[in-house]
Amino acid sequence: GAVVSQHPSWVICKSGTSVKIECRSLDFQATTMFWYRQFPKQSLMLMATSNEGSKATYEQGVEKDKFLINHASLTLSTLTVTSAHPEDSSFYICSARDTPIRYEQYFGPGTRLTVT
């Protein structure tokens, strides 16, 4: 149980275009979903936290107009990287929590974004 999927697993896009990444909880309802970014050989950096039906809470330094997060249902959250630049190239990982009581997060497999 507690499976989280991400789509696509990798994507290449041209500079200036937008790309959407989907995160789905397959066998549970996610009260909260998180989006992380990981640079090579570095830790996971939390970008934003989203609860279903409400606006995402962005971490300091993360541009909310550039990284649009939508948590439309209890099983789906999307991250849209708008007007992508090469410096946005990274590994994006989502995670989900199935209850506000437990702290464990279940992670998706990640999406490798390359902006050319």
Partner 1 sequence: DQQVKQNSPSLSVQEGRISILNCDYTNSMFDYFLWYKKYPAEGPTFLISISSIKDKNEDGRFTVFLNKSAKHLSLHIVPSQPGDSAVYFCAANMKTSYDKVIFGPGTSLSVIP
Report which DSSP code applies to 59: P
Phi, psi of 3 (to 5 degrees): -100, 135
* 74 makes contact with partner 1 (CB under 8 A): no
* 53 makes contact with partner 1 (CB under 8 A): no
CA gap 104, 90 in Å, rounded = 24
Question: Considering only residues 7, 28, 57, 68, which one is a binding residue for partner 1 as defined by CB under 8 A?
Answer: 57
* 28 makes contact with partner 1 (CB under 8 A): no
Token pair listed for 102: 């437990």
> Are 100 and 116 contacting, i.e. CB atoms less than 8 angstroms apart?
no
Q: 80-108 burial, b if ≥16 CB within 10 A, otherwise e?
A: ebeebeeebbbbbbbbbbbeeeeeebbbb
Question: Considering only residues 37, 58, 108, 115, which one is a binding residue for partner 1 as defined by CB under 8 A?
Answer: 108
Phi, psi of 38 (to 5 degrees): -130, 120
> Which range of residues in 11-19, 61-69, 71-79, 89-97 is near partner 1 by CB under 8 A?
89-97
Nearest distance from residue 52's CB to partner 1, in Å?
Answer: 13
* 89 makes contact with partner 1 (CB under 8 A): no
- Nearest residue (CB) to partner 1, 28 versus 107: 107
Which residues in this chain contact partner 1 in the complex, by CB under 8 A?
4, 6, 32, 34, 42-46, 49, 51, 57, 91, 93, 95, 97, 100, 103-110, 112
